[in-house]
Structure 1
Amino acid sequence: MKQAAHVVQRDVSIAIAGSGGSGVMTAGTWLLDAAARAGLYGLMVRTSGPQIRGGEAAALLRLSGAQVESLDDAFDVLVALDWQNVHRFADEIPLRATSVLVCDADAGEVPAVFLASGARVVALPLKKMAKAAGSWINMLALGISGALAGVPQAQLEEAVRSGWKRDGDGLAANLRALNEGCLAVAHLAGSPLTGSAGPRRWLLSGNEAAGYGALRGGVRFVAAYPITPATEMLEWMAPALARTGGCLLQAEDELASINMIIGASFGGVPSLTATAGPGLSLMTEGIGLAVAAEVPIVVVDVMRGGPSTGIPAKSEQSDLSFAVAGLHGDAPRLVVSPTSISDCAATTHWAVQLAEALQCPALVLSDQFLGQSQAIVRAPELPEGAPQRLVAPAHAPGYKRYANTENGVSPMAIPGTPGVTYTADGLEHTEGAIPSSQAADHRKQLDKRLRKLTGHDYGSRWADCEGDAPLAVITFGSATGPVREAARRAAAQGVEVRVIALRLLMPLQAAALDRALAGVERVIVVEQNHGAQLLHYLRGAYDLPGQPASFHHPGPLPLRPAEICNALVAWAREEETLA
């Protein structure tokens, strides 16, 4: 950054990094809050070392006058409170030659990885300045990063006042430190980012959005065991459920969690659990029971790097294969995936409604990026109405719980309803719920369980389809944001692409995909995992046009718009050459 004017643009990316206890997440959260108050949009991604809690951490932000769904390719500002173990995620904070790096003059040498970018280094006595103000270093960092980002100081102060919950003189000291931070870089800061009043906006994480969607969808019982990165969803839902007459129970493990929600749902209460990959593995047998007994449940899987314990605090879309093919036997179920932080609310709401209507398990594939990131978004719009489960009336004549109906959905009796008693378990059964090993009964129930999912009309929500170019990108989940931005950048270079972001992954909507791909000559599949799982799943279930290409890499590095754009442009140029 020869002059700081580069930070005053349509959007700006800021990283605040430091060791455990330095408060970088608080500074990042309050900076995002201030941006929202200024009429801006924004995104904050959390990153930390392998220890999950404590140790080094960084808050990665992107602020803009328009809604953003992904991080940018590099950061305009890095405020480093110290250099303790920052190398563990240095590759997640690339800088430009025009960037500004603000660091503590007494913290030692700037790591070579940051110096190599050519960024301008501004060394300040941060700890001494914070001590003189009687506050903490993260409040100084808030002022510095806010000033360089172009967020008005008045909104920064409002965010501090709103976020400070303690009594005493701490608030005044924090505001002094904030002001000192703003003054320290006043010679570098330019004009503020332009915000607007616009529609009502919310500041929330994907985990909070998913919890909100579940509650609005009708969930009133949650049983779960804490696990990174899904725990915040449970923490948010516990008091929210209590206010709506429901409850959350912390189970002793994931096996107990899945069995508890099956029991609650069997009793007539829409139920949910949230977990991550290791927990999902333990829930496999329980999910199979819900398939066989046709009990509606929702399982939110906030995916993280694997296998095994893997990388708990980093994002990866690597549970897809398990979600669509991980149960024993022929076990049809719903698998959906939100396409953005805001969409976590709508998709989880939809999952609850679908599970109840179709009497089956619904898996929601979120991930660490969506779940733990915070964003300023337009208020989610969700349909009204309770979930519609087909319930058997009392004394229904000739009641058969698993009657082979035309659409595959049969009335479910709530325990205690007179005259419609039945047994539900994992054994194959007759239409009347009597255990059976007869081939005819097995085939009839297999057909029934599959038919109710494949014959349902999912409407237009199965995917977001954008554009009509002959080259198409298929993606899902958190990869959607960088893909959309990459498509816009490619269009600016004369390369038009069609984007299809799948929301309903199972059952795959072949007929709808046919329509969405009409006129497409070739497809590239973009995803964040090592094995190109989405590409292999699609090729196994559908005939993709042309010779499908793949763009994929595992976590923990996020997908960047520039790398996807470059791949799209190169891919299009290759097609032109071959033509």
Structure 2
Amino acid sequence: MTEAATLSIAIVGSGGSGAVTTGKILLEGIARHGLYALMSRSSGPQIRGGESAVMLRIGQSSVDALDDDFDILLALDWLNVERFSDEIPVTEESLILHDPDKGDLPAVYAQMTHRHVARPLEQLAKSIENGRANMVGLGLLANLIGLPLAVVNAAAHDILKHKGEVVLQATLSCIETGYAQTPDETLVLPLSAPEAITERWNISGNEASGFGALQGGVRFVAAYPITPASEILEWLAPNLEQTGGSLLQAEDELASINMIIGASFGGVPSLTATSGPGLSLMMEGLGLAVASETPVVVANVMRGGPSTGIPTKSEQSDLNLALYGFHGDAPHIVLSALSIRDCAFTTQWAVKLTETLQAVAIVLTDQSLGQARAVIAPPRQPALEGKRKLAGDTDHYQRYALSDDAVSPMAIPGNAHCIYTADGLEHNEQGTPSAMATDHQQQLDKRRQKLTQFEYGDDWAEVTGDGEICLITWGSATGATREAAQRLSQAGLPTKTLAVRLLAPFSTERFKQVTAHAKQILVVEQNHGGQFFEYLNAQRVLPGHAHSLAQPGPLPLRPNVIYNRVMQGL
């Protein structure tokens, strides 16, 4: 195989075959080798067991999207592999590694490529006490791509050391046995390791979101487990304790949202994590947080919908819910993380914004970010200090006092000088419930102005490239969109990408400045209804010649789909 910018590898197998473990060790080895990578995983519709697949893309620079097809497919077995045929496309140049004792290549792959390496992975594993075929396959794969054996062994030790010495030694023996197999094909890792290896993090999007929450100051979390957000809670549970915080598993989403409102009211920065069905249940509680100006953060990891939908697959289909799901006029912040690395920054920024503005923030990620892993550079930190404005002793405390910045001092319960009525009713400046039109108008204006007048700075979006073609996107669609823009620019069509992080309140003037000279505009997102495209039209920021590319899940957006759409438009 000729040298390429990236290398894409897929690993498939039935439940219990170890496809995911194989991918984790390979990813850790890539990190130790000084490269970057993205690893996504997929599973069948079963709640437990069933077939699974791991998809990796390796590069010398940050990798934020899967490629159009795969260079190598390692099949531990062929059980129900046809379920992944559209997720794992191959070409005639692709190479398939498989165990001949597991049956012939399925027609869907045999028809696409004649390049394959057959090795008796299971037989080789049986020659080793406690041996596993997936580890033999890992060794063969590592040899094939030129990943040093010592690096793979070190990665396996790090991932499996908790399983004990017997399992670890059997694993290392299997890897070495597979590594000793002479491939029929010669293929070296297309990317050489850098001379100086800088710091790398091996992290999932959900873990990055949890890290960002801790860095932002969150010290209380209440949540009800839900796919694909549960890993945020699993990561935060032990790590919150180390920082003096705590996590409580609530009985449902209604309880969890009210718990974090109560904790924040008591002065503790708080967060909950959920997905679409849970966010729906939280809306009434979030309205209370808006009306009482209590800062809370909701990390919403989107999945296929509506209803139960496709819990294990990704889709950017909760945007309308996040923007418009509240009853009444309820100004709030909506943010979208643009990559796995950005999950940390965006969640941390959300916490700091809510504390500064005494507001509700919803952070949108999705399954393709949350449950994927990546080798990344350490995430950057927001510049915002993110301190809550607290009330001091006063004889005339006004919890909702009108001011130039519309942010009034917040009292912590127990301060005898700052007693006020706290509930969800409309109120006057003192907090006393009021049905007066003037009070209602003033408080509506206050809650809106503190968000719209705030200076969010350049973090509202990320702009890359330049040109008269502009691709506009948000969230997890950013990686594929940026890569499509790079390909267009290389083809002689200079293209700019605008990836919006701050979805609400919307930065109208900045958006218009970025898109002012664009002669062709395409809005890219992963949902069926073009929700972001319609939102931008509602904000009156798109010209008449703007077009929408809205692809629903569960298949990931691929760069060639975006590239071809622009080329067809030209």
| Class of the TM-score when normalised by the shorter of the 2 chains | over 0.9
Q: Distance in 2 between matches of 1:448 and 1:190?
A: 63
Correspondences of 1:261-410 after superposition (within 5 Å): 261-383=260-382, 387-394=386-393, 396-410=394-408
Contact 1:304 1:312 (C-alpha < 8 Å) held by counterparts: yes
Distance in 1 of aligned mates of 2:316 and 2:156: 35
**CA–CA separation in structure 1 for the residues paired with 2:288 and 2:56:** 43
- Match for residue 167 of structure 1? 164
Q: Which amino acid aligns with 1:59?
A: V
- Does structure 2 conserve the Cα–Cα contact (< 8 Å) formed by 1:214 and 1:348? yes
Q: Deviations over 1:486-542 (max 9, x none)?
A: 111111111111110000000110011121122223321000000100000100112
Distance between the aligned counterparts of 1:84 and 1:344, measured in 2? 34
Kept in 2: contact 1:521–1:546 (CA 8 A):
no
1:73 matched to 2:105 = no
Q: Say if 1:521 and 1:545, in contact at 8 Å, map to a contact too.
A: no
Q: CA deviation at 1:330?
A: 0.7
SS in 2 for 1:195: coil
- Say which of 57, 60, 63 aligns to 1:62: 57
Give the deviation of 1:181 after TM superposition.
Answer: 1.8
Separation (CA, whole Å) in 2 of partners of 1:261 and 1:46: 32
Runs of 4 or more off by more than 4 Å in structure 1?
383-386
CA distance in 1, matches of 2:385, 2:520: 42
Q: C-alpha displacement at 1:383, in angstroms?
A: 4.6
Secondary structure, aligned partner of 2:96: strand
More divergent stretch after superposition (414-423 vs 240-249): 414-423
The answer for the alignment partner of 1:227 in structure 2 is 226
Alignment of 1:197-208 (within 5 A): 197-208=196-207
Contact 1:522 1:545 in 2 (8 A): no
1:9 shift after superposition: 3.2
Aligned pair in 2 of structure 1 residues 15, 119: CA closer, same or farther (>3 Å)? farther
Give the superposition deviation at 1:35: 0.6
Aligned partners of 1:253 and 1:325: how far apart in 2?
A: 22
Indicate which of 441, 451, 456 corresponds to 1:443. Answer: 441
Q: CA deviation at 1:187?
A: 4.0
AA aligned opposite 2:353: L
Give CA-to-partner distance per residue, 1:169-194, whole Å, 9 cap, x none: 32222112112222335342433431
Inter-partner Cα distance in structure 2 for 1:11 and 1:118 = 20
Q: Distance in 1 between matches of 2:514 and 2:5?
A: 32
Would you say the 8 A contact 1:475–1:525 is kept in 2?
Answer: yes
CA shift at 1:114, angstroms?
1.3
- Local SS of the residue matching 1:106: helix
Question: Quick check: 1:129 aligned with 2:95?
Answer: no
**Which moves more between the two structures, 227-236 or 44-53?**
44-53
Q: Deviations over 1:294-313 (max 9, x none)?
A: 10000000000001111111
Q: 2:171 matched to 1:184?
A: no
Q: Which residue among 80, 86, 102 is the counterpart of 1:85?
A: 80
The question of 1:25 aligning with 2:24 is answered no
Residue in 2 aligned with 1:576?
none
Q: Which runs of 5 or more structure 1 residues have no equivalent in the other structure? A: 574-579
- What's the CA shift for 1:398? 1.7
The aligned residue for residue 417 of structure 2 is 419
Q: Is 2:561 the partner of 1:563?
A: yes
Question: Using the alignment, how far apart are the partners of 2:351 and 2:499 within structure 1?
Answer: 21
**Count of residue pairs the alignment pairs up:** 566
What percent identity do the matched residue pairs reach?
53
Question: Hey, what's the Cα distance between the residues in 1 that align with 2:465 and 2:540?
Answer: 21
Q: CA deviation at 1:110?
A: 2.0
RMSD of aligned residue pairs (Cα, Å): 1.5
Deviations 1:268-327 (A, max 9, x none): 000000011111111111111111111000000000000111111111100001111111
| Structure 1 counterpart of 2:505 | 507
Tell me the distance in 1 between the aligned counterparts of 2:330 and 2:192: 52
CA contact (8 A) 2:473 2:498 kept: yes
User: Is contact 2:8–2:57 with CA below 8 Å preserved after alignment?
Assistant: yes
Q: Does 1:34 align with 2:29?
A: yes
Larger CA deviation: 260-269 vs 372-381: 372-381
Aligned partner letter, 1:203: N
Q: Distance in 1 between matches of 2:178 and 2:437?
A: 75
Q: Distance in 2 between matches of 1:70 and 1:463?
A: 18
Residues 143-170 of structure 1 deviation map (CA, whole Å, 9 limit, x = unaligned)? 1222233322221111112222233432
Which letter does structure 1 place at the counterpart of 2:266?
A: G
The counterpart of 1:51, out of the listed 32, 36, 46, is 46
Unaligned runs of 5+ in 2: none
Deviation at 1:385, TM superposition (A): 8.0
Shift of 1:52: 4.2
**Per-residue displacement from partner, 1:56-79 (whole Å, max 9, x unpaired)?**
111100111221110111011111
Q: CA deviation at 1:109?
A: 3.0
Matched letter for residue 508 of structure 2: A
For the residue of structure 2 that corresponds to 1:428, the secondary structure is coil
Q: Match for 1:218: what amino acid?
A: G
In the alignment, what sits opposite 1:524? Answer: 522
**Paired residue for 1:148?**
144
**TM-score between both structures, scaled by the size of structure 2:** 0.97
Of stretches 120-129 and 510-519 in structure 1, the one that deviates more from structure 2 is 120-129
Asked if the contact 2:117/2:185 (under 8 Å) is kept, the reply is no
SS in 2 for 1:61: strand
- Which digits, 9 at most, give the CA deviation of each residue in 1:189-211, with x for residues without a partner? 43343111343111101111111
Counterparts of 2:35 and 2:345, CA distance in 1: 23
- Give the TM-score taking structure 1 as reference length: 0.95
Please give the alpha-carbon distance, in whole angstroms, between the structure 1 residues aligned to 2:517 and 2:551: 28
1:85 to partner: Cα distance = 1.8
Select which of 447, 451, 454 maps to 2:452. 454
Select the residue among 482, 485, 490 that pairs with 2:483: 485
1:29–1:87 distance in 2 versus 1, CA, 3 Å: same
- Secondary structure of 2:300's partner? strand
The aligned amino acid for 1:156 is V
- 1:213 maps to what in 2? 212
Q: 1 CA distance for matches of 2:177 and 2:360?
A: 54
Stretch moving more, 530-539 or 59-68:
59-68
- Secondary structure of residue in 2 paired with 1:208: helix
**CA gap 1:103/1:451 in 2 versus in 1, 3 angstroms:** same
Deviation at 1:345, TM superposition (A): 0.5
Structure 2 match to 1:577: none
Partner deviation per Cα, 1:234-290 (whole Å, 9 max, x = no partner): 111111100000001111111111000000000000000001111111111111111
Assess if the C-alpha contact under 8 Å between 1:14 and 1:145 holds in 2. no
